[in-house]
Every structure is written in structure tokens, then in C-alpha cells.
Amino acid sequence: MSEEKKKCGLYMRVSTEDQAREGFSLPEQKERLEAYCKFKGYEIVDYYEDAGVSAKTGNYRAEFERLKEDIKSKKINTIISLKLDRFTRSIYDWEELITFLDENEAYIDCVNDDINTTTANGKMISRLLVSVSQNEIERTSERTKIGLAGAIKQGHIPHIAPLGYKHENKTLVIDYSTKDVVVRIYELYYEGYSYKKISNIFNEEKVLGKDNWRDSTIQTILENEIYKGDFVHGKRTKSPTYYENVVEPIISKEMWEDCQVQKKKNSRSYQRTLTYLYLQKIKCPKCNRILGGKATTKKNGKPYFYYYCNDCKITIKENAINEYFNQFINELVEYDSVVNQFFLPMIRQRFDEPKEKLEKELAKQNEKLVRIRNAYINGAFDLDVFNKETAVVEEAIKKIKEELKTTDCAEELRFTPKDILLKRDIDFLNKMIMNKQYKERTKTWKDYTREEQAELIMKYVDEIKLTLIGSEVIVKEINFRDSICKPCQELYDKGYIDTTKPMLLGNVLGSVRFSNYLPEEEFGEIIMRLQQYYDVHYTEATYYLQEQVFYFNFVEDNSAIVRVFPLEDYYKLDPDNKMEEYRFGIIYINGDDYDDFEITEADNIEPYFNAIPDDNETTIKFENGKRSEIVVKPVKFSEKDSK
């Protein structure tokens, strides 16, 4: 070989990590190789540059393949490169290359590694160096995999957060603003709807403000293991790694698996006929996973539902949950009525996007806009990138401001918090005085279909927690959705929503409607407006804290209490309950007044049920227990009025 003239091809390769780590840029490699050839007296025939390509097995390198073709055609007989790892870090690939060079009487000369494959010793040393390089790669890969596995097990999922989740402190957590969309997708598919039907429904409803839902999007969501709490790393590789229980699940494992085998049934337009009331709401008391639902049909044809955890072998009958849930049912139905009559038109936008959340998101986007501008000023990116990033953030800010404007408009609708309290007082009086008509117009829990009951539970219940007492599974607590119940709690705290409380009334234990403190002018206005419908009265009573009892004679004289409320803000005045007595206001109606209240076919009673007295000053006269005509506010109105 020493007598044969060396016709050289200079091979240069750089991957992005090489350049970042060691500065192996292509110009630097070229300069050093040219200097080496000049020193050795080699003839440079051509240059071969693979930019941004790693030497990993299976990667196609166009210039390296061209170099091999030039070796075959005898255009060159020597490859000059900076290091062995420019070619490969695999012993297998290196042996293939050595064989190829031997067959074509060509050689490799590496500048930094001082390797020359013209001799047996040179080949042996090259094999050792490649072996060391491969070992280093494999060890690095092992360390990376171990670190990645540990991170994934801690919930650090190295992907964009899927719908229903968000990243919080690098951990994937449930995004409660979009979680229910995912649950609904699974439930619709579970019931027999196809990908296409679900996407069509979502497009018609513009779910999440989008009208470009695709069946492929629905399919991807339904096949993603993350929703049952698991994660598959390298899903498209030959050796994917499966991690169980790494994030909080949105869907039970049982339901996820059922949806995977549902495809054949859905293709035959299969639709389920059974409805599970508490699907996706119950968690296992042992492992805290969401329970699956099953049903058995007895000889009488009636289905019996139960919920179970395959892993922990926990089972609970639906009837056992119903027994616990029954104590909340009336309140739930009543609350739903209040929501539909008042909350939806008054704070419609605040259910899914509360105003405070929108304001926080607006602040975040404004901060992001400042960071983008500062980064551009500091030269982090060029003008095109700046314009694109700014446009995205400004569009997000625009949408948030529009939602805030809509929310503000919704809050300025016809109803005030006092209207809600007034309507509930009137409903209570209607139920007592016109019980038959009240029942005809009021839907109770037993009047709901099973599907409507499930929808109501889905809307308001966040989760049902179970506990074990011995081997028996019982309901521990029911948690209602904060985004729905928080506005109600805020109104209760301010005195505009009532609750039922047990109280000692003289020597009789009873329950009364109770509301928190309101200033005198506000509860005075409510009483005046109530008197436009019914001849209610007002009195005051003392509540003795030590005995926890009221003293008055309402039981004896057949009067009925409408509502009780404190005349002072005792939460502030007496936070430690050290006072001996509290003063309370009582709205009541005399027994004679409601016993003598007569309704004829000619009477228009609809305002009692579908309207509330207006807050304009109106003089009302009662004659024979009946009121004269008054100005009212309707409480049922068209959809366009609520926008």
C-alpha cells in the first residue's frame, strides 16, 4: 500500500448532539482533514458530508453510501476521517465495513485515533476502540433508560399532555376543565356510538369551542393507555416499555378494556341498553382505582347493578350506594332546579370557566407575552419567530377577554342573589299551601328516568369514596363537583341560599329553613316582595346557645315557619360561641291564612310557580286571603334571553 498512491475521500459527519457537546462542526472537521492529507502527501479526490445524522444502526447516510459506491468504482481507495465514531459505534457495523474494505482493497485512516486498517494490528486496535465506544453508548443508554423509567413512575411523562391532563411541576395531572370531555367520549363509545358519530356530535355541539373533531382523534383518545393510568414508552418501536399506574386515571381499567373489545360490537351498530348510575364515580378503598361496572339480569328480567375492582376483588352493589345517596337526592334535585332557573342564566360561563380562572389565565398569557418580547430583545430568536410566537399569545389573550366579557354580561342578567332566595321561599310556601299543584309541576327523583338520574349524578358528583369495615364495603363520603357547588356555597355564605337545619322549637325537635345574615334593608325587601304573593308575617325570637333552643309558640297556634335568619353577623361577632344568646328573625305564615287559601279554576296560579314579585315598589292589598294583581319577573324564559 505504501507504493500505491492514496486517493482519498474525506468523510465528515456531524449530529446535532456532537456539535453541541464537542464542537465537531463540518468546517472544523474539513480543515483538520485537509491539513492531515497535506502533511501525509495524500491526494484529496472528493468530500463527503453527512449533516445532522447520527451513526446509529439503521440510519441512512446518503453521503456515506455515495462514498462506498466511489470505493467500488475505484475512484478512491482510502477514507480519511476524524475519528472511528464518525463511521459507527457498533461492532457489528464495523465488521461489515472492514469486510467491505477488504473486498474492495480500500482502507481507513483516522486522524485522532491514529488508526490504519492496512495492517492486522491496526484492524485489531480499531475493533477494540469500537468495542469501547459501543460499551460507552450502551452504558449511557442504560443510565438514560433507568432515569427515564424512574421519572415516568413518578408521573413525569415525556410527552405533550393529552386531552384531560396537564403538566404541573413536570408531572402529568388531571385537567378538570377538560376531564369530562374524555369521560363522555368513553361513555358514548361504551354505549355503542362509533368514532364518527361521536365526532359529529362534538362538532354539532362545538365541544371545547371546536368544530373540527375527527373520528381519528376520538380513536386516538380511546386507544391511549394513559386514561386508565398507564403509559407505554416507545409504543411504535419493536420493544415498547409498559408502565402501570403512573398517573391518576380518568377511566377505570375495566371500562378501558371494555372499549377495546367494543369495536366489533360498534361495527354492528350495537348499542347498550343498561345505564350505570355511578360509572366513573366510585374508587376502590384499597388501591384508589376507579371501579368498573357490571350488571346481572334475574329471572324476573330486572337488572341488578354492581361495581368492582378486579385487582383487589372488591365488589359493592348499586343498591348499597343508593341507600347512602338517598339522603342527598332531594337536595340534588332541588339544587338542579335552582341551577337551571338561576345559575345557568346568571353565571352560565362560570361553570366550566370560572371568572377567577379566566383572570388568572389572562395574567399568565400577559406574562408570557412579556417574556417573548424580552427574549427577542436579547437575541434569543429572529423576527419571524417573534411574530409567530406573539401572534399565538395575542390570539389566546383575545379569546380570554371575549370569554370574560361574556361572563360579565351573564352576571348582569335579570336575576339578583335576592331573587334566588325569594324564589326558594315562594317554592316552600307553594309546596305547603298548594301541595297538589306543586306536585303536578315539580319533578322529583323518582320521576327521573335512569338515564336522567345518571346524567344528574355525572353533572354534580365528582367522586364517591368507599371504605372497608371488616370485609364489608360501605360508602364513606360523596364529594360534589367544586366548580358547580362553589357558587352555591358562596351564595349561602352571603345569606342568599338557605339550608335545612335541625332545631329545638320550644320542647319540640324540628327542622327549619335557615339562611345566613343579611342587612336589615335586604331582608326587609325580601319580606315586602313575599307579601305580594302570600300574607307572610315577621317576628323575632331569641336563641339560647347553652340550651341550643328557640322559645316560641308556633306549634301551639299552628303557624308555619318559612325561614329563620340571624339579625347580626354572629360569625364575626362571636366566632368562639361565647355569647349566651342570639337574636333571630323569623318569616312565618299563620295557620288560618294558609288554611283559608282557596283556589278556583278561574284563578291564575301560574305566577306563583313561574314568576317572582318584581322589586319595583308596588302597593299590595289582601282581600279574603288573596292578593291583587302585581308586577312580576318571569323565571322561565327562552334560550336567547339567557345569552
Place of cell 391532563: 165
The Cα 431–Cα 427 span in angstroms is 6
Q: Are 464 and 473 in contact (CB under 8 A)?
A: no
User: If you count DSSP H runs as helices and E runs as strands, how many of each does the chain have, helices first?
Assistant: 22, 25
Q: Are 537 and 589 in contact (CB under 8 A)?
A: yes
User: Letter for the amino acid at 101?
Assistant: L
Q: Are 170 and 150 in contact (CB under 8 A)?
A: no
Cell of 193: 356510538
The Cα 28–Cα 16 span in angstroms is 15
- The catalytic residue among 15, 25, 54, 337 is 15
Cell of 577: 360561641
CB count within 10 Å of CB 619 equals: 7
Beta-strand pair 499-505/549-550: parallel
Those residues whose C-beta lies under 8 Å from the C-beta of residue 223, and which sit 6 or more positions away, are 260
The Cα 113–Cα 32 span in angstroms is 13
Burial 285-309, CB ≥16 within 10 A → b, else e: beeebbbbbeeeeeeeeeeebbbbb
Backbone torsions φ then ψ of 264, nearest 5 degrees? -65, -40
Those residues whose C-beta lies under 8 Å from the C-beta of residue 576, and which sit 6 or more positions away, are none
CA dihedral 30, 34, 36, 40 (to 10 degrees): 150
CB count within 10 Å of CB 343 equals: 20
Instruction: Identify the CA nearest to 390 among candidates 401, 408, 402, 377.
Output: 377
Indicate if 15 belongs to the active site.
Answer: yes
Could you give the residue numbers annotated as active site?
A: 15
